[in-house]
Amino acid sequence: MNEHVTPINLCNLPPWSIASRHYNCHPQPLEIQGAQHIGRMLFKELEQIADPELRGSRFHDFMDVTFQLHQWQREASRSCQKSLKNSYLRFLRGWLFDSNSIEGAVLKGWVESRLGLVPTFHRNKIADIHSEEYFQYMVDRMNGSSRTSAIFSQLDLLYEFIQYELRRRKPDCQHLVLYRGVNDFEEHVILEKTDKTSYIMRLNNLNSFTADFERAWEFGSRVLQVAVPLPKIFFLCGILPKSLFRGEDEYLVFGGEYDVKVMIGG
């Protein structure tokens, strides 16, 4: 049994299918249980908005009201204030600063909870769910989750919004070619070498990629090139208005088994 998938998830497809190379070749929409129901009025309204930036602002307004993020100043205790103030934006910013942070553990935990994909790396390589490294990841995940109100539900809606925007902006697209700079394969598991530059690799359950090939070289001596199915894109910078979120050309991508081309710098 694959130690990096769980028997259950909150998705319309089983974990082993989402993690497979077959899925990457033949992607299907991933539906998180309950997320479309919660956001049905939002997405109905977004259909009437032509401006992408305005849609991003409307999404954040919806999140603000739904999860009462704007009411943090009214809370009497500091812990209650922090739990509301630390919205989904805090966790995205934390990931971009350090994917092995507490915020990074929460995002990996959301992927594990919803899709059933267990992380292969958090601070250290995670061999399986019985390891000390997995326990330490769970400690970070629980510490981070306690910092905010309903963070997993917030991330459910964020994923639904990103997928909505991708379908609307790229209606005829199934895959994006993305790049990831690395210095070694520490965070990824090589399953098979298919030729001189091509591998089958198991990527961490959540990974940072970029669409900018040249930028990928800034992060390592090797660049991984993958064709990512659109449903496996959790987040990308540029979807939210710059007034809310300033980031580079970065994509957060679900893991599993991928056909990877590895390019080595001179």
* 246 φψ region: left (φ > 0), alpha (ψ -120 to 50), beta (else): beta
Cβ–Cβ < 8 Å for 252, 235 = yes
Q: Assess if residue 75 is contained within a domain.
A: yes
Q: Which helix (DSSP H) or strand (DSSP E) does residue 208 occupy? A: strand 198-210
Quote the pLDDT of residue 204.
96
Tokens of residue 204, six digits: 């961490």
Q: Assess if residue 6 is contained within a domain.
A: no
* 169 φψ region: left (φ > 0), alpha (ψ -120 to 50), beta (else): alpha
Cβ–Cβ < 8 Å for 209, 95 = no
Q: Assess if residue 8 is contained within a domain.
A: no
Quote the pLDDT of residue 82.
47
Tokens of residue 81, six digits: 């204030």
Neighbours of 244 (CB within 10 A): 12
Q: Assess if residue 7 is contained within a domain.
A: no
Number of domains in the chain: 1
Cβ–Cβ < 8 Å for 217, 131 = no
**Tens-binned pLDDT, residue by residue, of the chain (266 aa):** 567 899 889 999 999 999 999 999 999 999 999 998 889 999 999 999 999 999 999 999 999 989 888 654 444 444 444 444 568 999 999 999 999 999 999 999 999 999 999 999 999 999 999 999 999 999 999 999 887 778 999 999 999 999 999 999 999 999 999 999 999 887 889 999 999 999 999 999 999 999 999 999 999 999 999 999 999 999 999 899 888 887 778 999 999 999 999 998 75
Cβ–Cβ < 8 Å for 218, 208 = no
Q: Which helix (DSSP H) or strand (DSSP E) does residue 24 occupy? A: helix 21-25
Identify the three-state secondary structure at position 248.
Answer: coil
Q: Assess if residue 123 is contained within a domain.
A: yes
Q: State which residues form the domain around 140.
A: 15-264
